[in-house]
A and B are shown apart, each in its own frame.
Chain A
Amino acid sequence: MLRRRRIAALLFLTPWLIGVTVFFLYPLGMTVYLSFTRYSMLDQPELVGFRNYEYLFTKDPYLLQAIRNTGWFIAIMVPAQVLFALGAAQVLTKLKSGAGFFRTLFYLPSLAPPVAATIAFVFLFNPATGPVNQALGFFGIKGPLWFTDPAWAKPGLVLLALWGSGNLIIILLAALLDVPKELYEAAALDGASGTQSFRHVTLPSISPVLLFAVVTGMIGAIQYFTQAVVAGSVASGSADITPSAQLPGPPEGSTLTLPYWLFVQGFQRYNMGYASALAVVIFVISLAFTVVLLRRKSGFAQVTS
């Protein structure tokens, strides 16, 4: 009987098992194996021991810059996006009229394809001809060089991320609307101010959703690629995305992220073995962040009434 039940359980699990094996375990295993090889993807992989990892940890001149840039996106872009989305969602809950219109308006940018949105942003922020700097100039402010200045390229990308955070706004809006009204009433009866009820009622109630937003945001930041590549290439005046004879991550490597470097190594320099080693590093970093965040989830624990 027990055996039959086990078989039945296994049968029910089969679709999941196949999915995990084919789409997760096998690629992960192959990536780890390839990270110990020299592999151009045009001939057979050849085992080279720890050579890729040795180069990665001791010689790669761009790795540190890529890690710094990716770290910057995790540290700045993720909190900025979550805070902005939370603020926007909070405002949307308070609207007395036109709520549907404004929700649609905030959500719309996230429907724009990332490449098109990035190109449009680079044109809007063009320091010589773009309307943003012209508007700033109208108020007597000298606008920065945005995507052509290494100090401003990443903040420019953060603005792009904020503009396109419609998905997150909708998720947080749903969470905010889901907070039981009785809790607010009880807090009001106890004499809690608006800030106090936000801190002691709203935040604990939506903490699982905030945790979700932070974890997925962080994984997204670790994998940040498309917008960085497109913004860098378009602003540098290249018609070609990542032309092989150009420096990666223009200007001055300020938009070079870990996945961008992986792409350059694997697909432009024919070093798929080394790119696999980079993928392993990215995987370990993602895993470490997720584990740390989930372990600290007590801080995000939902208040139960």
Chain B
Amino acid sequence: MKSLAAVAAALLVCAGCVPSVGGQEPGDPQVITLWHPLKDPNEVKAVRAALDRFEAAHPGITVKAVPAQDADKVTQAIRGGKPPDAALSFNASSVGAWCATGAFQDLGPWIQRDKVDLQQIPAAVRSYTEFEGKRCVMPLLADTYALYYNKKLLAAAGYSKPPKTISELTAMTKRLTKFSADGTIEVAGFVPYLGTYHSGADLFAAAFGATWLQPDGSANFADDPAFQEMLQWQKSLVDWFGVEKLALFKAGLADEFSSQHAFNTGKIAMMLDGEWRTSFLTNDEAPVDYGTAAVPVADNKPGLYGAGLIGGNIIGVPRGAANPEGGWELVRFLSTDTEALVHFADAMHNVPTTLPALNSPRLDLSREPEFAPFLAAFRHPRSTSQPATSDGGAYLAQFGQFADKWQQGKVPDLAAGLRTLDRQNDDALRLGS
């Protein structure tokens, strides 16, 4: 009887400190299931290599990896009560919903117990992986953005360096752009038309230092003048090209992931894109002599140069996992073990998500000159991320919709339009709260 009481007491104490361990005893042979969204054979191989490293460091544990499982499938599995022990997702915008509803387990008790140092992760990255103070996922490799430029086209136009400011970008765009006899765009210096590859409101807003949400989570479009400055600049450059010409140009571009990408073929001289493009350019053997540089920033905010938007993959332990303790061990290892991160980042051509991994002399990416702006953006203290909301970051879609109407010339009063957008966004957010 006494021993039963002792066991009950121990269970109660244990229940207070960390989530249940799913009946696993340390030392027992375990199988951990990991779902990830990657499909490309090279990427699947990179995941396997990372898992082999984990298994070598954890004798008796085997990890079963299931590829091509996107955020929807993970959510469905959580709803159905049969989720994997750990899940990796591209979809950082779901963090708000996943944390708020407990769909992913609170990692706080484990982080505390295992004394995981979160300061090794930059603030912007910590911010998109937690929601209202609750950390339910860890970052696993990040994406940062830079300006890609065609060295030959720039040299032909008399430029030896890429632009650093928005006004330099504008002037160079105009000089680099070539129209054909029928008025269509032959070569675009830079495409300001939203939705063309990665010319998006999200990256432009970061270049102007705009802040998406107020501290209380409400929308900040009308109150932050950076949004108006960004939209005014973007529209003036769109108008210089002609909005119809840009729409036609965009419609004729090859797919983002094809070897006929317009940057590869010299139809676009400068563009914003993520770090993964470097490996696509190499793998496609693109016949373009290119360089990378930090994203040009608003003329009145030179301090932003080098900083940028950070986004990335997340990994966590779903609610209802059969072996949550094993799932957490895998999450902890993959997201914080320096060696593991360095190898995984090198294999995936993504930015590693901790500062020790970033500064590791073994990181091959740090020796690639084209990769330097991406690593620098990750380190930069003024880099930002898109905050999580409970409705899956709907504010971004709302702003995208508004910005598209704006570039088509269908918003007569910008300030009033942004105020309405703020109100609509806050109403929508209240709906799900």
Query: Which A residues have a C-beta under 8 Å from some C-beta of B?
Result: 38, 40-43, 51-52, 55, 59, 61, 126-129, 145, 148-149, 235-237, 239, 244-248, 250-253, 267-271, 274
Q: How far is the CB of A6 from chain B (nearest CB, A)?
A: 41
Whether A244 lies near B256 (C-beta < 8 A) is: no
Q: How far is the CB of A27 from chain B (nearest CB, A)?
A: 16
Partner of A43, one of B102, B253, B405, B431: B102
15 A–B contacts from the bound complex (CB under 8 Å): A38-B431, A127-B248, A145-B247, A145-B248, A145-B251, A237-B196, A245-B93, A246-B195, A246-B400, A247-B401, A247-B404, A250-B404, A269-B428, A270-B101, A271-B391
Q: How far is the CB of B144 from chain A (nearest CB, A)?
A: 17
Binding stretch for chain A, among B61-69, B72-80, B367-375:
B72-80
Whether A149 lies near B247 (C-beta < 8 A) is: yes
- Residue ID in chain A nearest B93 by CB atoms: A244
Whether A253 lies near B401 (C-beta < 8 A) is: yes
Partner of B97, one of A42, A51, A246: A42
Partner of A128, one of B251, B396, B401: B251
- Which B192-213 residues have C-beta < 8 A from chain A? 195-197, 202
- Contact residues in B for A128 (Cβ distance below 8 Å): 248-249, 251-252
Whether B91 lies near A244 (C-beta < 8 A) is: yes
Top 4 A-B pairs, shortest CB-CB distance:
A128-B252, A247-B401, A42-B101, A42-B103
Q: Which of A38, A42, A126 has the largest number of chain B CB atoms within 10 A?
A: A42
Distance, CA A252 to CA B397, complexed state (A) = 12
- Residue ID in chain B nearest A62 by CB atoms: B401
- Contact residues in A for B78 (Cβ distance below 8 Å): 42
Given A38-B432, A42-B101, A268-B392, the answer on whether A246 and B397 have CB atoms closer than 8 Å is yes
Number of B interface residues in the complex (CB < 8 A): 48
Given A42-B102, A251-B404, 5 more contacts at CB 8 Å? A41-B75, A42-B78, A236-B195, A268-B394, A271-B432
- Contact residues in A for B391 (Cβ distance below 8 Å): 269-271
Whether B427 lies near A237 (C-beta < 8 A) is: no
Q: Mark B389-432, 1 if CB is under 8 A from A, else 0.
A: 01111101110110011001010000000000000100110011
Query: Which B residues have a C-beta under 8 Å from some C-beta of A?
Result: 72, 75, 78-79, 91, 93-94, 97-98, 100-103, 195-197, 202, 244, 247-253, 255-257, 390-394, 396-398, 400-401, 404-405, 408, 410, 424, 427-428, 431-433
Interface of B is mostly: helix
Given A59-B427, A245-B400, A267-B72, the answer on whether A40 and B101 have CB atoms closer than 8 Å is yes
Whether B251 lies near A43 (C-beta < 8 A) is: no
Given A42-B79, A267-B72, the answer on whether A235 and B251 have CB atoms closer than 8 Å is yes
Distance, CA A251 to CA B75, complexed state (A) = 29
Partner of A55, one of B75, B247, B397, B427: B427
Q: How far is the CB of A170 from chain B (nearest CB, A)?
A: 35
Q: How far is the CB of B321 from chain A (nearest CB, A)?
A: 14
Distance, CA A55 to CA B427, complexed state (A) = 8
Partner of B424, one of A43, A59, A148, A237: A59
- Contact residues in A for B433 (Cβ distance below 8 Å): 38
